[in-house]
């Protein structure tokens, strides 16, 4: 079944683990996950779905749009990771109940939520599906570790190149990327929050990427003439995304 077919059959959850371990899900598990997810909700740009310390009784599946995981310190917001359609944005709050960060919508965002009581039943009675959920949370951790390392290693232009490379790969996994780049609701201010730079430094970094012919960010579109050059410049390798590559596997490996 192609990803397009999956979206038709499972409109709320058809992108979950696409490009990774979705092939390990049985049709019964896909149908069960779809049945667990509640009604679709749509929020506008800037809506804070979860604020630090909020009590959480459900976890969120991102259906359409883009979300940032953020922290705030000294009147400044920091983007510490992002989410694309198909991501279980806050599955780890099933265990934590309260998050130590915020979940913010970037652009129009469509979500559906799974009650924690339903997830508890999955953990108790569906061990294979439970392990897939666990895998999903471990992906978040893997990507976060990569970001920490790159923030230490890279200059602002290279950090943005790394962010663009990762967004492009992750959107491709869920069939939302293009051959020469991708569309995104991210603004320059969001990129500044994500790479820990000021607005002035971010503007200069984007100009540097454009002048070097590495990436052009204009009005929500990122165009990239040469993927290999972008990834080399940003020090990006996709292994930590657990798609194709050295870390690709099945649950029976």
Residue-wise pLDDT for 159-195, tens only, equals 999 999 999 999 999 999 999 999 999 999 999 999 9
How do beta strands 48-50 and 41-43 pair?
unpaired
The predicted structure's pLDDT at residue 75: 87
Q: How far apart are CA 200 and CA 202, in angstroms?
A: 5
Q: Is the pLDDT of residue 2 over 80?
A: no
**Could you say which DSSP state residue 19 is in?**
T
Average pLDDT, the chain: 93
Q: Is the pLDDT of residue 29 over 80?
A: yes
| Tens of pLDDT, residues 32-71 | 999 999 889 999 999 999 999 999 999 999 999 999 999 9
The predicted structure's pLDDT at residue 177: 96
> Which of 202, 226, 196 shows the shortest CA–CA distance to 214?
226
Using pLDDT thresholds of 50, 70 and 90, give the confidence band for residue 13. very high
What are phi and psi for residue 61, nearest 5 degrees?
-100, 125
The predicted structure's pLDDT at residue 28: 96
The predicted structure's pLDDT at residue 251: 64
> Which of 16, 30, 2, 95 shows the shortest CA–CA distance to 63?
16
Q: Is the pLDDT of residue 84 over 60?
A: yes
pTM, two decimals, is 0.94
| Domain boundaries defined on the chain | 3-142, 151-241
| Tens of pLDDT, residues 197-209 | 999 999 999 999 9
CATH 1.10.150.20 fits 151-241, yes or no: no
The predicted structure's pLDDT at residue 219: 87
CATH code of the domain occupying 3-142: 2.60.120.10
């Amino acid at each position: 079944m192609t990803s397009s077919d999956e979206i038709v059959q499972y409109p709320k959850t058809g992108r979950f683990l696409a490009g990774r371990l979705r092939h390990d899900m049985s049709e019964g598990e896909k149908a069960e996950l779809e049945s667990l997810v509640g009604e679709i909700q749509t929020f506008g740009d800037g809506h804070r779905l979860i604020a630090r310390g909020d009590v959480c009784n459900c976890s969120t599946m991102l259906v359409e749009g883009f979300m940032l995981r953020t922290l705030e310190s000294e009147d400044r917001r920091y983007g510490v990771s992002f989410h694309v359609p198909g991501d279980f944005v806050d599955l780890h709050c099933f265990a934590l109940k309260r998050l130590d960060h915020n979940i913010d919508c970037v652009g129009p965002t469509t979500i559906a939520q799974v009650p924690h009581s339903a997830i508890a039943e999955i953990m108790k009675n569906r061990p294979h599906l439970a392990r897939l959920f666990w895998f999903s949370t471990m992906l978040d951790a893997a990507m976060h570790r990569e970001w920490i390392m790159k923030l230490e290693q890279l200059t602002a232009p290279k950090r943005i190149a790394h962010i663009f490379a990762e967004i492009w790969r992750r959107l491709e996994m869920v069939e939302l990327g293009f051959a020469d780049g991708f569309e995104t609701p991210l603004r320059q201010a969001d990129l500044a929050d994500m790479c820990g730079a000021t607005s002035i430094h971010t503007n200069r970094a984007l100009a540097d990427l454009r002048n070097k012919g590495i990436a052009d960010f204009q009005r929500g579109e990122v165009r990239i003439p040469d993927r290999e050059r972008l990834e080399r410049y940003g020090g990006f390798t996709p292994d930590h995304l657990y798609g194709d590559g050295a870390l690709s596997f099945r649950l029976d490996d």
